[in-house]
Amino acid sequence: MPELPEVETVANGVHARVHGQTIQSIWTSNKPQTFKSTPEVISETLTGSRIERVHRVGKTIVVDLKRSGMEAQFLVHLGMTGRLLVSEPDVPIPPHTHAVLSLSGGRELRFVDARRFGRLSVLTTHEEDDQPYSGPGKEPLLISPPDFIALFRGRKTPIKAALLNQSLLHGVGNIYADEGLFRAGIRPKRQAGRLTRAELGRLREALITVLKHAIELGGSSVSDYVDADGVRGFFQLEHRVYMRTGQPCLVCSTPIKKIVVGGRSTHFCPVCQQ
């Protein structure tokens, strides 16, 4: 499952290649799971629209569209296996392709998704009451320290589970929750509402640092991702605890432990994290 850095990497890569171009036509597979808006509505909204910007909100890729007074957003959720590829039209369409947008620059933007947990939808934003897509929770890279602390007030769940709750903070998944808690020195099972302000302040900074670092590393593999097949190279990111069960902690050499919190495997150092 791609997390915030992977989604941001893809969004930035796609933006660099397609912004300013007009969608001339669209083909859709019409598989019901994939289309949260109907293929007809998506086709009607996208055809003839100019791509103003491609960016990330939470774990969703948002394509801002404009067409003669109408503004809309095309939302792409990658799910488990979704990929957004910018391809030359003569490159064969891969299996499990669900949407092909033909662009004025001559290339195609393709959505490919083998397991079909990904979702495509549109949102019109031209009416006065319409709000642009803001995601299910707060943005981890932008949230202020007081707002971050307030998110966890009174919560009885373990902090690890609270970090994965997308309606609180969106975009953080299993990898960056574990890595953020390690860097902040906090045990994953601690009750979220009982963490001190200082601990939550450290956690916010640790999350921002690890997410930004991952975005920087991801940036180097963007062209591979967009032009070919997958987040190749991205996992060069050096995890300090995630999937390092039994290996020595990079700070104190104690073996990294694995436990289950909220149904998810969780990795931590029993000495560095208290």
Residue tagged active-site, from 71, 189, 264, 270: 264
How many residues make contact with Zn ion (CB under 5 A)? Answer: 7
Residues 191-250 that bind Zn ion (CB under 5 A): 249
Catalytic, 44? Answer: no
Measured at the CA of 191, the angle between CA 187 and CA 192, to 5 degrees, comes to 95
Query: Does 252 sit near Zn ion (CB under 5 A)?
Result: yes
> Which residue from 115, 150, 251, 274 is in contact with Zn ion, where contact means CB under 5 A?
251
Helix axes 197-219, 4-18, angle to 10 degrees: 40
3 is catalytic: yes
Smallest gap from Cβ 205 to Zn ion, in A, equals 19
The residue type at 256:
I
Among 93, 114, 231, 271, indicate the residue that binds Zn ion (CB under 5 A).
271
Q: Could you give the CA distance from residue 227 to residue 169 in angstroms, rounded to a whole number?
A: 31
Q: If binding is defined by CB under 5 A, does position 272 make contact with Zn ion?
A: yes
Of 64 and 199, which has the nearer Cβ to Zn ion?
199
Q: Which is nearer to Zn ion, 80 or 251 (CB)?
A: 251
- Among the options 17, 56, 59, 160, which is catalytic? 59
The region of 32-40, 42-50, 211-219, 253-261 touching Zn ion under the rule CB under 5 A is: 253-261
CA geometry: angle 232, 103, 82, nearest 5 deg: 35
Residue 176 · residue 211 · CB < 8 Å: yes
Establish if 149 lies at the interface with Zn ion (CB under 5 A): no
83 labelled catalytic: no
Our answer to whether residue 264 is catalytic in this structure is yes
Task: Considering the candidates 3, 44, 52, 205, report the single residue annotated as catalytic.
Answer: 3
Q: How far is CA 192 from CA 105, 128, 177, 179, 189, in A?
A: 49, 38, 13, 17, 8
Q: Which two tokens stand for residue 172?
A: 């953080």
Minimum distance between the CB of residue 247 and Zn ion, rounded to whole angstroms? 11
Per-residue burial over 91-126, b if 16 or more Cβ lie within 10 Å, else e, is eeeeebbbbbbbbeeebbbbbbbeebebbbbbbebe
Q: Which residues bind Zn ion (CB under 5 A)?
A: 249, 251-252, 254, 269, 271-272
Q: Which residues are catalytic?
A: 2-3, 59, 264
